Amino acid sequence: QVHLVESGGGLVRAGGSLRLSCAASGSIFSMNAMGWYRQAPGKQRELVAMITGGGYTNYADSVKGRFTMSRDSAKNTAYLQMNSLKPEDTAVYYCYVDASTVRYWGRGTQVTVSS
pLDDT at 31 over 80: no
Q: What is the dihedral of CA 21, 27, 28, 30, to 10 degrees?
A: -130
**What mean pLDDT is predicted for residues 14-30?**
90
Which band of pLDDT confidence, cut at 50, 70 and 90, is reported for residue 13?
very high
Across the range 65-85, mean pLDDT stands at 95
Beta strands in the chain (DSSP E): 2-7, 10-13, 18-26, 31-39, 46-51, 57-59, 67-72, 77-82, 91-99, 102-105, 109-114
| pLDDT score of 30 | 72
